[in-house]
Structures are given as structure tokens and as C-alpha cells.
Amino acid sequence: MSAKVVVIGSLNMDLVTRASRLPKGGETLIGQSFTTVSGGKGANQAVAAARLGAQVSMIGCVGNDAYGEALRGALLAEQIDCRAVSTVDGSSGVALIVVDDSSQNSIVIVPGANGALTAETIDRFDSVIRAADVLICQLEVPDASVGHALKRGRELGKTVILNPAPASRPLPSDWYASIDYLIPNESEASALSGLSVDSLDTAQAAATRLIALGAGKVIITLGAQGSLFADGQRFEHFPAPVVKAVDTTAAGDTFVGGFAAALAAGNDEAQAIRFGQVAAALSVTRAGAQPSIPALSDVQAFKTP
């Protein structure tokens, strides 16, 4: 069957430096390397879904600068439909990323053109949403646009996924009824629920609260500890595949894109979660955001060590 995914969200150029550790406040460190890599949570998830078997369309905005051309080109190279990627005056979004020797990262995002993605822009490309099976949103574009996209996805009967990243506060209460799958990580689940999430038990408590707020189902990604699924009736823990991590950038995006692609292809939730986990595990064995995202053949060939 066809597997069609539409991603509504951000496109950023990632400016990545590696250093032995993350700098402290007021400190200057000498870095080990610097690269520019196409990224942004929306674009990363679009690339992941495309590489992992889905037909993907992207709705977003880039600036009329060199980064904008590069960001669009990176999506086109993955056979992603970019007719709904608009070019606006000004700079494209950028993300300043520092990765340390333990593969942890620290990120500062400057939205740039992503701030120009409005409800009106989304409505211009309603036909793109109508053609999809699964709709994915994140939080790197204006909240009003995210809320509009979620509600439109619900109106059209699409499977709606929200990856609430980056999240530092609770979501608007009227969003939850439009969300089929809410997929936060530990810190995002803490911000949304008001509960500290640092174990499976606390993740269950946070998921229970998020479902009580109206989310259909919740998947909390727990890094090396795997994922917790909750639907209001039961919990299920999915242990993570064991790999040697090099760079965790875009691991969450890879999971979301892989999960969406697997769902759109007709897999059940458990199959889609395991598929997304293998894709994410493979991504952390490689450096960078989009360059680290595996292909479908990589996931199919993966065997647990």
C-alpha cells in the first residue's frame, strides 16, 4: 500500500562544532571541528520518513539566502515533494550545535524563516495535507501554525503525530484532542506534564497525565532506555537496541520519521515503534543530523549484536 506522510515544520541549517565537553557559562573552548549540515526537526523527520520508505511532502519556509537553497536541495535529493516549501525574505533558520566527546549535544535555534510559516501558508497547501495518510508536526514554527495544522489534520481524518520539541512549557489545552500520537522525550514529557521524568515509573505517571489532558496515545522516548507506550489502558516498554553512540543529534527525529513511515505503510503500533527504534539506534552511530539518518535497507539488515 502507499505510505504518504506530510511534515509541517522547520528547516534549519545546522552549524555543528565538536568539542571535548560543553562550555560552561562565560567560558571559551577550542573546538575540534566545524561543519554545516541541513537540519531542522521538520526537515529531519521528512528525510527520515522518506529514507525509511514513505512518500513525503514538506510544508515549511526557508529564507532567500544560500542556506535556503541548500535546505531545499537537500530535501529534493531525497525525492521529497517541496512544492509547499515557500521562500521568504530574510535568513533561513539556523541551529548552533555543540557535540561533546560523550556524544551529548547543546543546541541554540534561531528560527529565521520558520517564523513565517502561518496558518494562511498552511491553508494554501491544503491539497498536500489531503493527499497524506500521516501528518507530523513539531514546535520549531509558531504555536498558532502548529495548532492550526493539528486541527486541520484531525478534520481531514489523518493520523496526527506531534513531536513536542523543543518544549519548555505545557501545550495549549485545545491541542490535545487533535493528537493521535504525542511523542516527547524525557525532558519534554517533564515540561508538558509538570512531573519529573527520570525512570520508567515516572514516565508512566507523565504519560498518564498527558492522556488525561486529551492526547490519544503517548510514546515517551527514553534514549538508551528505549520507549514507553501508553494508551490509557496499558503501558508497554520497548527496550532500545544496543549500539555504540557517536552523535545523538536527530535520533529523536529519526524515530518519529521512522514510526510515521511504518504506520503509514500499515504496520501496527508495536511494529512501528520497534522500526523507529532501530532507525534511531543506527542514526546515533553516525555523526550529523540528516547524514546520520539510515536507509530502509539499513534498518531491514540490522541485527542486534
CA-derived radius of gyration, the chain? 18
- Residue ranges for the known binding site for K(+) are 247, 249, 283, 286, 288, 292
Per the annotation, binding residues for substrate are 12-14, 40-44, 140, 253
Pair 29, 106: CB distance under 8 Å? no
CATH superfamily of 41-86+116-290: Ribokinase (3.40.1190.20)
Paired sense of beta strands 105-110 and 93-99, if any = antiparallel
Dihedral (CA of 256, 301, 236, 269) sign: positive
Which region, left, alpha or beta, applies to residue 259 given φ > 0 means left and ψ of -120 to 50 means alpha?
Answer: alpha
**What DSSP string runs through 150-206?**
HHHHHHTT-EEEE---S-SSPPPGGGGGG-SEE--BHHHHHHHHSS---SHHHHHHH
Question: Are the C-beta atoms of 89 and 64 separated by less than 8 Å?
Answer: yes
What is the model's pLDDT at position 304?
Answer: 65
> According to the model, what pLDDT value does residue 300 have?
94
Q: pLDDT per position in the chain (305 positions), as tens?
A: 469 999 999 999 999 899 999 999 899 999 999 999 899 999 999 999 999 999 999 999 999 999 999 999 999 999 999 999 999 999 999 989 898 998 788 888 899 999 999 999 999 999 999 999 999 999 999 999 999 999 999 999 999 999 999 988 999 999 999 999 999 999 999 999 999 999 999 999 999 999 999 999 999 999 889 999 999 999 999 999 989 888 777 899 999 999 999 999 999 999 999 999 999 999 999 877 788 999 999 999 997 65
Residue 81 annotated to the active site = no
The whole-number pLDDT of residue 72 equals 97
Residue 99: the pLDDT is 87
Of 133, 253, 268, 298, the active-site residue reads 253
What SS3 class is residue 7? strand
